[in-house]
Structure 1
Amino acid sequence: MKSDFLNPRFLRYFIKVADLGSLVSASKELNVSQPSITRAVQILESNLGKKLFLRSKKGMKLTKEGQLFYLNSKAILSYNEKVYENISQPELKEKKQEEEYLRFGMPRSLSTSHKENLLWILKRNYENKKIRIVEEESNTLNKLVFENKLDFAISCIPEFHKDLTKVFLYNDPFCVAFYKGHHFQNMKEIPIDEIRKEPNYIFRRTCEFFYYNYKLTHKGKLDYKIINNIVDKRIKNGKHRDVIYTNSETTASHCIKTGLGVAIIPESVAIDYKLLFREVVKPSIKRDIYFIYRDENKDKINFDTKALKNALWL
């Protein structure tokens, strides 16, 4: 669609630059690299065919077209929030006439901005379709798509049945997030062994990091049940330094902000919640984000996967 460039991420970047009058200030406020914000503004201006900012040594000021686009951008983001409230459902429930719905799954650990962008894509391309959103951990989503209880989904675990089609979207590196004043703040990158020495660790059962770390250090095909067994033993024996147990990215992020501990989380989540974080190294681990579906549901996909990639990651 011609308006596919109007994804929420670009609009948020544009609004922040307009509010602060500076790319540098917007970059610091959003905790996003300046080139990413510059690129977003360039994409908007190129597709609109209009200059949105007057640039000078004093900063960036909206043009007349920019002022109009600013108001419309605010309206679009406000509308997106209402869409999310109306169609997001926490559980998959069997209903009569289920075929009326487009059934879409997304991981709980996907960042808030990514969820917003996904919903925007769905709304833009399925205006006359009811949408059922299911949020689960990736392994459950894989199973639901395979059982045809979901039409398609985003998954962070690349262990799929042979009958499922997967489209790679992007890599999301894992990082260690910590509170202000923590000694990690003085380090550029942090080995995993250093993180394991921390006395206050926030443990999240659904964190895909344990899957990718195990896959990296063990040979052979990985059964996700193995990961669940490792997690069960960890919780049962209590020999680790965990001080908080939660399955929620949101709860973990708030715990980090208040100084209750540190955690390994996806970098996109750390950026979303404006957390202090550093790259995890030795080894450096990234999670893979895929779009998955059964071949028989291919005709239901009413958008270009390139647009999906752009909406999820700049």
Structure 2
Amino acid sequence: MLIDHLEKLNYFYAIAKMGSFNKAAKKLYITQPSLTKSIKILEEDLQKELFIRTPKGVKLTVEGNIIYEYCMILFSHIEQMQDDISKMENPMNTSVTISTYDSIAVYFWPKFINYINKVYPELTIRLLTGRSNQMHKKLIDGQCDLAFIIEPKESKHTINEKLAEDKFAYYESTDTKIYKDHQSAPLIIMNQTVELADQKIGTFLNKYREDNHLYEASSLETVKALTSGGVGIGILPTQVARDLVKAKKLKEINPTKFPKLTKTKHNISICYSRYKFGSPLINNLVKELELFTREFY
């Protein structure tokens, strides 16, 4: 029975998350032969293979995927139980890991961390940054407690709550520019960010590519820096551009013959594990994020 193999289930869960016996053995501080033997015992008891060995590591079988889904719930509840017991006096006297989109980390988190430090001075925040889809995966994999990201995908493992929305607009520098007018200006975008939202914009950008007047960056912060430096017209979310607009280093423009960006609205959401619903720590943080974003956006 599986109840007799809780330790081996923990081994299985580590291998499934890391995709490698070797990496899991190092994380668990056991030898790889011991780990392999434990999984073999588990497979023999279930009379099912749980992993498919490949040159790049391991993949889950159909039966392995089923067990992995249950392990996510099981070990999440065990962690929650440990947290609840250790934090009975003050659930906020702990550390929390939050993943967020790169640009949100730049314009939002310095202000929110200053705010939350006053509300919960005993709370320690660890921040992870990257692309939204990467950060959402970290949440699903249990590598963080919350994710504050853009347009999260629906998942049976997470609760996604919309807190705000943003949209893209055209911006140019208020200082010296290297182009004469809008029609001759290079366009600066983040790879595939805008064109995926609207087919007309995609067609327009393809024309710019043909004329070699398009700069494609890997981050919105690069787009913002090039735009404020007068290199060209940048397509940016209003929140990303906001601080430089206030500082009068960027200004929003509506160039003639450029497509409207009306279909580029996107949601900014807070996401957390469905299995941590009701946790005092998560509830308090979500509540404070709701209050703060209401004023911020």
Q: TM-score range by the shorter chain?
A: 0.5 to 0.7
Where does residue 116 of structure 1 map in the other structure? 110
Where does residue 264 of structure 2 map in the other structure? 285
Q: 1:257 aligns with which of 216, 225, 228?
A: 228
TM-superposed CA distance for 1:297, in Å, is: 2.7
Q: 1:145 aligns with which of 139, 163, 166?
A: 139
* Runs (4+) off by over 4 Å: none
- C-alpha deviations, 1:236-274, integer Å up to 9, x for none? xx6474553433333322211221112211011112122
Q: Which AA in structure 2 matches 1:109?
A: S
Given that residues 217 and 223 in structure 2 are in contact (C-alpha distance below 8 angstroms), is that contact kept between their aligned partners in structure 1?
A: yes
Given that residues 209 and 265 in structure 1 are in contact (C-alpha distance below 8 angstroms), is that contact kept between their aligned partners in structure 2?
A: no
- In structure 2, what is the Cα distance between the partners aligned to 1:198 and 1:271? 25
Secondary structure, counterpart of 2:197 in structure 1: helix
- TM superposition score normalised by structure 1: 0.50
TM-superposed CA distance for 1:157, in Å, is: 2.0
Where does residue 99 of structure 2 map in the other structure? 105
Unaligned runs of 5+ in 2: 1-26, 30-82, 84-93
Give the greater-gyration-radius structure (CA): 2
TM-superposed CA distance for 1:121, in Å, is: 4.2
- In structure 2, what is the Cα distance between the partners aligned to 1:105 and 1:308? 17
Q: 1:276 aligns with which of 245, 248, 251?
A: 251
Unaligned runs of 5+ in 1: 1-93, 187-194, 218-226, 228-233
Where does residue 306 of structure 1 map in the other structure? 290
Which structure would you say has the larger RCO, counting Cα contacts within 8 Å and 6 or more residues apart? 1
Given that residues 172 and 268 in structure 1 are in contact (C-alpha distance below 8 angstroms), is that contact kept between their aligned partners in structure 2?
A: yes
Q: 1:200 aligns with which of 149, 161, 186?
A: 186
Cα gap change, 1:131 to 1:243, in 2 (>3 Å) = same
Where does residue 224 of structure 1 map in the other structure? none
- In structure 2, what is the Cα distance between the partners aligned to 1:309 and 1:107? 15
Given that residues 151 and 268 in structure 2 are in contact (C-alpha distance below 8 angstroms), is that contact kept between their aligned partners in structure 1?
A: yes
- In structure 2, what is the Cα distance between the partners aligned to 1:163 and 1:264? 33
Given that residues 169 and 238 in structure 2 are in contact (C-alpha distance below 8 angstroms), is that contact kept between their aligned partners in structure 1?
A: yes
Secondary structure, counterpart of 1:170 in structure 2: strand
TM-superposed CA distance for 1:178, in Å, is: 1.5
- In structure 2, what is the Cα distance between the partners aligned to 1:270 and 1:112? 11
User: Number of residues paired by the alignment?
Assistant: 188
Cα gap change, 1:241 to 1:272, in 2 (>3 Å) = farther
Given that residues 118 and 311 in structure 1 are in contact (C-alpha distance below 8 angstroms), is that contact kept between their aligned partners in structure 2?
A: no
Cα gap change, 1:146 to 1:253, in 2 (>3 Å) = same
Where does residue 161 of structure 2 map in the other structure? 167
Where does residue 58 of structure 1 map in the other structure? none
Q: Percent identity among equivalent residues?
A: 16
- C-alpha deviations, 1:107-160, integer Å up to 9, x for none? 112274422233234423442232210111111111111111110011112323
TM-superposed CA distance for 1:281, in Å, is: 2.3
What's the RMSD between the two structures over aligned residues? Answer: 3.7
